[in-house]
Amino acid sequence: MISKKDTSIDFYASTGIAKSIVSKLSNFVTILSAERLFIITHLYSDNIADSIDFIFPNLKLPNKPPKDFTIQKTTLENILFPTPKDYISLEEISYLTDIDIERLKEILTKPTVVISASELILLEKAKGLKKGSLFEASFGHLKIKKVLK
C-alpha cells in the first residue's frame, strides 16, 4: 500500500497520519494500529483481507496443545466479542493468541485503547472469524475522505 503512487491523493491529509508516523511505520520503528491499517486500506479502495495477507503473510496463532478452559471463564461482552453460543473465554483467547489477559481486558473495556493490527488479526483467528471482520466491526463506521492535492 505504501508503494501505491496515486499522486492525485494527498495521503497525509486523507488519513490524518503524520509524515513522521509513516516514516516510523515504513522503518518498522512503531506498530501499525488496526485503525490505521483500515484507513489506509480504504483510502486506496483495497480489500482489508488482501491487505492483511500482504502485510502479515506469516502471522499465525502460536502452536499450542489443546487445554481445557471449562473452569476458567471470564466474560466481557462488547462489539468485538458478543457472547455467542460457541463462547470462548478470555483465558482461552489469551492462551491461543499469547495476548496477555490484562491486555485483552484493556482492549475490550476501554474504548480509547489503541489495538494493533496484529492483535486484531490474532483475535479473528482465535475466534475463527472471517479475515477482516473485526476490522469492519470496529472501524466500518469511519468515513475516509480522499483529499486531492
> Exposure of 89 by Cβ count < 10 A (0-12 exposed, 13-18 middle, 19+ buried)?
middle
Q: Which three cell numbers stand for residue 123?
A: 483475535
pTM of the model: 0.81
Note the helical H segments in 9-111.
11-15, 19-26, 34-43, 48-55, 90-97, 101-109
Q: What is the C-alpha to C-alpha distance for residues 129 and 123, in angstroms, rounded to an integer?
A: 8
Q: Which three cell numbers stand for residue 49?
A: 483481507
Per-residue pLDDT of the chain (149 residues; tens, 9 = 90+): 445 555 678 888 888 888 888 888 888 888 999 999 999 999 988 899 999 999 999 999 999 998 887 666 655 555 555 555 556 788 889 999 999 999 998 998 888 999 999 999 999 999 889 999 999 999 999 888 888 88
Please report, to the nearest 10 degrees, the dihedral formed by the alpha carbons of residues 118, 119, 123, 124 taken in order.
Answer: -30
